[in-house]
């Protein structure tokens, strides 16, 4: 009697083992192991990623083109065979509506439900998912526009950390490139205008020091402008600017504001008040503004400061970007800075995957990314991690709307940072 009993036990154990193996195989095929595992989102042939963008917002600000930029770069990588035999399974990007709580929920959905390996691209001014991703050890890549990108081991801005703490390095490239363009900074004054959002205010602090490092004199920094919507009356803000330099206007106005409607209103009001000096910002390099005559007129002459090589450049990397984006979005697509931000964020992620090797887990990936990782590319400058977790990359370019056409003033260039006061 013992023989049949033993045989039945062996058959039962074999069945359980087979079910377990089948279950593991199905789990692997479905996008990875349980949440929190270092190899989540990784199979023998794929790496699953998704992003978080501000596709829609109350102010009209949108970074949705970053999804196209990332998809374009991933598509080229896949057409070349992927990375170490694995192709990128890009599931698209969630919309945070420029709301921190929704950004946190989007990050949790991507990790816990969609089982992604990493978040690429993340391009949302008020991104609220950074703390969760740090706790889970999930890498994310994008435009580091706020302090949530700094002092982290999993957040990788293609431009480093733009909100360094006092004592850390702060960028000087913007001020130095503008000084080069204007023929020097000696005796020239600058007024910095921000909104009342935390990111904008902090940006005003760091950018003002960039211009100080370049030799300009700061005659005013104002964060009185509400960030929720453009004001119905610009006059109080314009009067302050026009009297900031010993009762007269400054030589240069620098705007640290995200949103075309804000900048259009500010610049149109400045010009109406008779302002003849230079104007510079980080966000107005957007060919879509040329479709509206009023916006186009307001932006005429503005010096934009993108943190990537301009599309009008003859650098080969930009020709490749254009070709890649057109494959996804169609011929004649109007390129925006958000295309570039998504594209270069994906490019850096791919470079880190390449250097990590075939044995891919999050732990091994992060060890590579934070282990003296350096990558230089004429398209965006350079990144150096872990150094850039605490300070900006120090690279940028200048573009000006001149006669209704964007023209390159200064190609991508990197400068040493200075200690933030």
Q: Which residues contact 280 (CB under 8 A, 6 or more apart)?
A: 174, 178, 252, 253, 254, 255, 302, 303, 304, 305
Q: Which sign does the torsion angle of CA 114, 119, 120, 123 carry?
A: positive
Residue 34 DSSP one-character state: S
What is the separation, in whole angstroms, between the first and last Cα of the chain? 85
Q: Which residues pair with 118 in a beta bridge?
A: 49
Cα torsion 80, 86, 87, 93 to 10°: value is: -140
pLDDT at 203: 86
| Pair 40, 27: CB distance under 8 Å | no
Cis check for the bond before 56: say yes or no (omega within 30 of 0): no
Tell me which residue has tokens 């963008």: 53
Question: Does residue 218 sit in helix, strand or coil?
Answer: strand
Question: Along the 421 residues of the chain, how does pLDDT read in single tens digits?
Answer: 455 444 444 444 444 334 333 334 333 333 333 334 568 999 999 999 999 999 999 878 899 999 999 999 999 999 999 999 999 999 999 999 999 999 999 999 999 999 999 999 999 988 999 999 999 999 999 999 888 999 899 999 999 998 888 999 999 999 999 999 999 999 999 999 999 987 788 889 889 999 999 999 999 999 999 988 899 999 999 999 999 999 999 999 999 987 788 999 999 999 999 999 999 998 889 888 888 999 999 999 999 999 999 999 999 999 999 999 999 999 999 999 999 999 999 999 999 999 999 999 999 999 999 999 999 999 999 999 999 999 999 999 999 999 999 999 999 999 999 998 8
CA distances from 116 to 12, 88, 90, 93, 211 (A): 35, 11, 9, 12, 41
What pLDDT does 20 receive? 39
**How far, in Å, CA of 210 to CA of 254, rounded?**
11
pLDDT at 38: 67
Please tell me what DSSP assigns to residue 290.
Answer: G
Identify any residues that bridge with 202 across adjacent strands, giving them in sequence order: none
396 CB-near residues (< 8 Å, 6+ apart): 171, 173, 174, 177, 305, 306, 307, 381, 412, 413
DSSP letter, residue 101? H
Give pLDDT, residue 3. 52
On whether the CB atoms of residues 279 and 298 are closer than 8 A, the answer is no
The DSSP result for 243-270, as a single string, is TTBTTB--SEEEEE---HHHHHHHHHHH
Nearest to 337 by CA among 320, 360, 321: 321
- Enter the tokens of residue 194: 């921000």
* Prediction pTM value: 0.84
pLDDT number for residue 7: 46
């Amino acid at each position: 009697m013992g023989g049949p009993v033993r045989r039945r036990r062996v058959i039962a154990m074999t069945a359980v083992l087979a079910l377990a193996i089948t279950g593991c195989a199905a789990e692997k095929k479905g996008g990875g192991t349980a949440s929190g595992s270092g190899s989540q989102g990784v199979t023998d042939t794929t790496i699953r990623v998704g992003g978080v963008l501000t596709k829609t917002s109350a102010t009209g600000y949108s970074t949705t083109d970053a999804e196209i930029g990332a998809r374009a770069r991933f598509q080229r990588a896949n057409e070349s065979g992927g990375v170490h035999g694995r192709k990128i399974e890009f599931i698209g990007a969630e919309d945070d509506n420029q709301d921190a709580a929704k950004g946190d929920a989007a990050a949790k959905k991507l990790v816990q439900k969609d089982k992604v390996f990493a978040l690429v691209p993340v391009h949302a001014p008020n991104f609220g998912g950074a703390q969760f991703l740090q706790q889970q050890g999930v890498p994310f890549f994008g435009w580091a526009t706020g302090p949530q990108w700094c002092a982290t081991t999993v957040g990788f801005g293609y431009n480093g950390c733009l909100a360094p703490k006092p004592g850390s390095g702060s960028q000087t490239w913007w001020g130095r490139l503008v000084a080069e363009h204007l023929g020097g900074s000696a005796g020239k004054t600058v007024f910095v205008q921000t909104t009342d959002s935390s990111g904008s205010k902090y940006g005003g602090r760091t950018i003002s020091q960039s211009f100080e490092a370049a030799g300009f004199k700061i005659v005013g920094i104002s964060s009185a402008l509400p960030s929720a919507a453009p004001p119905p009356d610009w006059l109080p803000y314009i009067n302050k600017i026009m009297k900031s330099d010993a009762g007269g206007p400054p030589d240069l106005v620098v705007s640290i504001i995200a949103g075309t409607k804000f900048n259009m209103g500010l610049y149109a009001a400045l010009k109406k008040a008779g302002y003849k000096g230079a104007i510079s910002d980080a966000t107005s390099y957007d060919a879509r503004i040329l479709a509206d005559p009023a916006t186009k007129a307001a932006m005429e002459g503005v010096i934009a400061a993108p943190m990537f090589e301009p599309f009008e450049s003859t650098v080969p990397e930009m020709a490749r970007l254009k070709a890649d984006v057109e494959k996804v979005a169609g011929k004649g697509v109007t390129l925006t800075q958000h295309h570039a931000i998504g594209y270069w964020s994906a490019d850096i992620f791919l470079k880190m995957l390449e250097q990590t090797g075939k044995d891919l887990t999050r732990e091994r990936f992060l060890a590579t990314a934070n282990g003296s990782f350096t990558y230089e590319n004429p398209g965006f400058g350079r990144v150096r991690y872990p150094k850039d977790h605490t300070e900006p990359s120090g690279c940028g370019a200048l573009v000006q709307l001149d006669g209704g056409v964007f023209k390159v003033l200064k190609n991508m260039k990197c400068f040493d940072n200075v200690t933030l006061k």
